[in-house]
Structure 1
Amino acid sequence: MKKTFDMQSSTLQFLRTLEKNNNREWFNENKTTYQEAQQDVISFVEKLIEEMVVFDEEIGKADAKKSLFRIYRDTRFSKDKSPYKTNFGASLGMGKGSQKAGYYLHIEPGKSFLAGGIYMPESSVLKEIRKEISAFGEEFLTIVEKDEFRNYFRGLSVEDKLKKVPQGFEKDDKMAEFLKLKHYIVTHPVSDEQLLNENAAKEFAKIYKAMKPLNDFLNAI
């Protein structure tokens, strides 16, 4: 397969077809197509890393192949027994259970997005993040209210947000609404057209660059 740096439409087509044929028999019969799609994503992530290392040297240590999540679903505790994910996900330092802020790329027809920050941190890490935000509120607000940041992101995720200020913090803390958060992540939706654009890696890197100050704040704890 010819190595290219822009995402191939065949990769999205594979995911669309997989969604309609989410069973082991079909997947095994189309294993080669899956491997080609997977390699396409790896090649794209390699190019993305090249673009991102300009503003974040740590990303240069990332391995594009190892950054990809497995396509096989863990169905042990799920009512949905479909064996495969219908997306490709790549984590550059970010993911469920990671205790450091990083970047994430989600590829799914009509539902692709870029994300950054820290997702589901352990309670001890979450408490330290909240302490830092409470103590250095002005610095945090400077990051999330910056024009470049607001141009790309509507705000931090409110998934699982608490109704009350967590224990250990004053109810009238000026950063109260941020202290109620359980994840400190931002997302930016990406259309199929943007994903397949030949300049996608360069454009995505610009968006990740806007996330970096948030990651730096979270990782300074």
Structure 2
Amino acid sequence: MISKSTLDFIGNLKENNNRDWFLDHKDDYEAARENISDFTAAVLKELSQIDPLVDAHTDPKKCMMRIYRDVRFSKDKTPYKSWFGIHKFSQGRYAGGTGYYIHIEPGHSFVGGGNWMPEGDHLKAIRQEIDYNAAEFKAIIDAPSFKKVFGEFRDQEQLKTIPKGYEPDNENIDLLKLKSFAAMHQISDADLMKKDVAVRVGKVFKELYPLLGFIQNALT
């Protein structure tokens, strides 16, 4: 589970995002990082029972994003992320940026995955797979259990124009116009602090798994 002290650290960092404060609270950061690592290890165990591409013995710290921001090309020069990000559960074995993701931020945490804003060639491949196998794709995203967890998949941002190579009267044009193919499930601070949170996250990922498989097939 995620401890209250970890959420408190993230909240305090957001209010004091500077090097001096961070160095003064380095012990708090290390404790929070260990808590996130333990949580990630528990999620890996759950996810490995769902997805054969995930190894339960993966070093959880390899899944954790650095807290240090790359400010070289950003107008925002605050040095630290005010959240913990967890990804690459399959250690790069999914193609083209496809994968699972957990975002830990007080009041704004979520669990999800898929493929967010794929680059040109990958976007073209996913659209083609949807066009060829629309029934399979719609069976995934329109399943009652999927919609209960993630809501309406079609509500994501869409192109304002028709994608090249497709006709306006294509019966699946609403799906072909999507810019991203990702699903997200909000999770409360209270739920994060429950002992069974890794199991709960595993259940969310179980609903997500067919979508990742569909995208993986498109890109490979």
**What's the TM-score once normalised by structure 1's chain length?**
0.91
Counterpart in 2 of 1:220? 217
- Once the two structures are superposed, residues 123-174 of structure 1 have per-residue CA deviations (whole angstroms, 9 ceiling, x without a partner) of 1111010001011111111011101101101133755521122101122111
Which residue of the partner structure matches residue 112 of structure 1? 109
**1:14-53 matches, cutoff 5 A:** 14-53=9-48
Return the letter of the residue paired with 2:38: S
**2:182 maps to 1:179:** no
SS of the aligned residue for 1:188 comes to: strand
Return the alpha-carbon distance in structure 1 between the equivalents of residues 8 and 181 of structure 2: 32
Determine helix, strand or coil for the equivalent of 1:59. coil
Cα displacement string for residues 59-108 of structure 1 (whole angstroms, at most 9, x for unaligned residues): 1164310111111112223222111110000002599xx60421100000
| In 2: Cα distance, 1:159 partner to 1:50 partner | 30
Q: Which letter does structure 2 place at the counterpart of 1:8?
A: S
Alpha-carbon distance change, 106 to 129 in structure 1, aligned in 2, over 3 angstroms: same
Residue segments in structure 2 that go unaligned for 5+ positions in a row: none
- Rounded to whole Å, the distance in 1 between the matches of 2:196 and 2:90 is 23
Partners of 1:127 and 1:13 lie apart in 2 by 43
User: 2-side partners of 1:201 and 1:189: how far apart?
Assistant: 14
- Counting aligned pairs with the same residue, the percent is 39
CA contact (8 A) 1:157 1:184 kept: no
- State how far apart, in whole Å, the 1-side matches of 2:91 and 2:134 are: 24
1:167 corresponding residue in structure 2: 164
Are 2:130 and 1:133 equivalent residues in the alignment? yes
Distance 1:47 1:32, change over 3 A: same
Asked whether 1:64 is paired with 2:60, we answer yes
Q: 1:154-202 CA deviation, whole Å, 9 max, x = no partner? A: 1337555211221011221111111111210000000000111100000
Give the AA of the match of 1:18: L
Q: Give the match for residue 74 of structure 1.
A: 70
Letter of the aligned partner of 1:207 in structure 2? V
Which residue, out of 75, 81, 93, partners 1:85?
A: 81
- Look up the match of 1:102: 99
CA contact (8 A) 1:71 1:88 kept: yes
Rounded Cα–Cα distance in structure 2 between residues aligned with 1:138 and 1:65: 38
Unpaired segments ≥5 residues, structure 1: 1-5
